[in-house]
Structures are given as C-alpha cells and as structure tokens.
C-alpha cells in the first residue's frame, strides 16, 4: 500500500513531486503538469493528474492538489512565490458569514474540503514539537459578555415563583394513559 509522506511542486517543468513509502521503502515520484498554462483550469488539471496517477494520488485530497496547481499557475503568470501563496490563500478562504445552507452540494463539498485543508494545516499532532497531552486552557469572559443573560434569568424565576404546580396523588397518576 502506498502512503504519501510529502507532496510539493517544482517550477522547472512544472510538476508535482511526492515522497511516498511502499512496503517500508521510501521513494520519490515526479508527475509533470502537462499543458499547464497561466490561464489553465486548475480543477481540470487536477482531475487529469488523478486519473493518470491514481495509484499514487488516491489518498491526497483534490483541494490540496488544486492548491499546488494554483501556486504553479501564479508562478507562470510571473508572480513571486510569497505573493502567489497569499493570492492562493485568499482564493481558498471560506467566508464565515456565508450561508452554507444555500450552496449546492458540489459547492458545499468544496467548502468542506477547504476547511479540512485549513484544519490539517493548523492541527498539532503527536509528532509536533508544540503538542501537549491533556492541555487545559482557562478562558476569561469578555467584558461585552458580562450580564448578557441576567435580565432573562430574573424574569423566568419571577414567573416560576408565581405559578404553583398541581399536586397529583398516586391514584390520579395511575389513571393517566400516557405515562411512559
């Protein structure tokens, strides 16, 4: 079984390069991005690449490959690496104010893939030097949040204190039909 360890790009060619292990042997594979131009459709290139190299890229998400292809596309436009990375990050950013309920299934799947990619980038796994087992963090309430629900609690308690609950005897409770 092939396990992709690292994935990257080479601007000379351009190509996608992966480091993978197969039966405990680590290898490197270079996959050229054929017909790549500055105005190419990144999704189409990713689909062709995944078809051609299914064996090696089946565990790599489409959005991760698309991000790499977008970086190559920015490089072909003549944009520097840092600026290209910023452009790609801004394109692949999910707007938190966007109503996800109004999206089509395909658009929603794409947003979820983008969120997964962001999560993987920000996650701290067991092998990471910043990993802390059973980390406890104390959150302090913000000044704006103080007393936001004080009024509603007082209203409910005053209403509840004024109403008396009916007292049922055991005989009346047994006559009820819908008791569990």
The mean pLDDT value of the chain amounts to 81
What share of the chain has pLDDT > 90, as a percent?
Answer: 31
pLDDT of 56 strictly over 80: yes
- Reported as a single tens digit per residue, the pLDDT across 138-173 is 887 766 656 656 665 555 555 555 566 666 555 555
The H or E element that residue 32 is part of is strand 25-32
Burial label, 10 (beta-carbon count in 10 A; 0-12, 13-18, 19+): middle
DSSP label at residue 174: H
Q: How far apart are CA 72 and CA 67, in angstroms?
A: 9
- Reported as a single tens digit per residue, the pLDDT across 123-142 is 777 877 888 887 888 887 76
Calculate the CA 45 to chain-centre distance.
22
Instruction: Note the pLDDT of residue 13.
Output: 83
Q: 38-72 in b/e burial notation, b at 16+ Cβ within 10 A?
A: eeeebeebbeebeeeeeebbeebebbbbbbbbbbb
Q: Which of 69-73, 85-89, 152-156 has the highest mean pLDDT?
A: 69-73
């Amino acid at each position: 079984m092939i396990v992709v360890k690292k994935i990257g790009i080479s601007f000379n060619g351009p190509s996608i390069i992966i480091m993978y292990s197969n039966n405990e042997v680590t290898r490197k594979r270079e996959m050229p991005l054929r017909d790549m131009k500055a105005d190419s459709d990144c999704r189409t290139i990713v689909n062709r690449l995944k078809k051609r190299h299914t064996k090696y890229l089946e565990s790599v998400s489409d959005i991760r490959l698309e991000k790499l292809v977008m970086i190559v596309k920015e490089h072909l436009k003549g944009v520097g690496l840092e600026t290209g990375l910023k452009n790609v990050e801004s394109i692949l950013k999910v707007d938190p104010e966007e109503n996800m309920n109004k999206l089509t299934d395909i658009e929603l799947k794409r947003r979820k893939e983008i969120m997964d990619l962001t999560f993987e980038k920000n996650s701290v796994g067991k092998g990471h030097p910043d990993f802390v087992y059973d980390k406890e963090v104390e959150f302090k309430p913000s000044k704006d949040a103080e007393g936001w629900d004080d009024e509603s609690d007082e209203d409910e308690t005053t209403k509840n204190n004024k109403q008396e609950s009916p007292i049922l005897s055991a005989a009346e409770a047994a006559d009820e039909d819908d008791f569990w």
